Amino acid sequence: MSRFRVLQFNMQFGQVWDEADPDHAPENLEATIAEIRRHKADIILLQEVEHAQPGGEQVQPPPNYTRLQEALAGYHSTFAYPRADPRELPFGIGLAIFSRTPLSDIVKRDLPSPPIEFDFFGTKTTPTDRVLIGARTVIDGHPLRIYNTHLLAFFMLGSTSEDNPEQRRTVANLLRESAGPTLLGGDFNTRKHESLVRQFGEVGYATVQQSEITWRRMPHVLDHVFYNAGLRCTGHQVCPTPASDHHALVADFEFAG
């Protein structure tokens, strides 16, 4: 029975955790790399790979992703920014998938955000779009579809993803259409995660865990690895780390049947 390990990690563009002043903690990409390496994962799903630039500029080639490619020699990978937008705020941006086995059939799906107005340090603005990426790989003869996403944090805007369901619905429909063993990782930014787990359960996907918090700033389970009946989760661990404001989530799988 073929087994493999998945690492789900919102790396917050390499900004480390400082309990006293988290918003102004330094960036240390080498600490991020050390955290990623120590889990010895076969598939690595990363969010907030890059630091968003003023005016929505998207640096090419992406500097953090380029350094990760160098550090993770032997892995195959793909990366995508969301749709470029001058409203982009100075937080983390961009998704990456790394895999020990070759990746093919790369996909990118834009996830539009609704025009919810909010105040950012005295300026009225609306949220930028999010993105989902995907790829196929083959592990010991078994095909596997991989997805990675980072949804909008509606709870930070005084709303909820239940009241604004389109991003979640788009992802759920994509999962429903996927044939064969499939997994989805990401930062789903849903404070009341039970409704997310229930929604994806209705299209045949379970999460590896929903009891341990994964975000240091608030006691929420934001990070998940979902999987369908083609896979069996044989173990998981939420791993606190000073390398981000998110904990790392590690899950071990085998192909079912």
Of the candidates 185, 191, 133, the one whose C-alpha atom is nearest the C-alpha of residue 161 is 191
pLDDT, residue 2, reads 87
The secondary structure element, H or E, covering residue 232 is strand 231-239
pLDDT of residue 186 exceeding 80, the answer is yes
User: What percent of the chain has a predicted confidence (pLDDT) above 90?
Assistant: 98
Is the previous residue joined to 61 through a cis bond, with omega within 30 degrees of 0? yes
Question: Which residues face 185 on adjacent strands?
Answer: 148, 225
With 80 as the cut, is the pLDDT of residue 1 above it? no
Name the strand (E) or helix (H) holding 184: strand 182-187
For the chain, how far is it from start to end, CA to CA, in angstroms? 9
Burial class (CB in 10 A: 0-12, 13-18, 19+), 204: middle
Distant-in-sequence, close-in-space partners of 246: CB < 8 Å, separation ≥ 6: 9, 10, 11, 12, 187, 214, 215, 216, 222, 223
The reported pTM is 0.98
| Gyration radius (Cα) of the chain, Å | 17
**What pLDDT shows up at residue 67?**
98
Q: 186 and 150 in contact (C-beta within 8 Å)?
A: yes
pLDDT, average across residues 140-162: 96
Separation between Cα atoms, residue 200 and residue 87, nearest integer Å: 31
Split at pLDDT 50, 70, 90, the class of 257 is: confident
Q: Token pair 């086995």 is at which residue?
A: 101
Distances (CA, A) of 207 to 13, 179, 197: 25, 18, 7
Rounded distance between C-alpha atoms, residue 21 and residue 79, angstroms? 30
Strand partners, 80: 95
Task: Please give the class, per CATH, of domain 3-255.
Answer: alpha beta
Phi, psi torsion values for 124, nearest 5 degrees: -80, 130
**Alpha-helix runs per DSSP H in the chain:** 29-38, 63-71, 166-177, 193-201
b/e string for 89-101 if b means 16 or more Cβ within 10 A?
eeebbbbbbbbbb
Q: What is the pLDDT of residues 36-79, one digit of tens each?
A: 999 999 999 999 999 999 999 999 999 999 999 999 999 999 99
pLDDT in tens, 198-240: 999 999 999 999 999 999 999 999 999 999 999 999 999 999 9
Under DSSP, is residue 207 helix (H, G, I), strand (E, B) or coil? strand
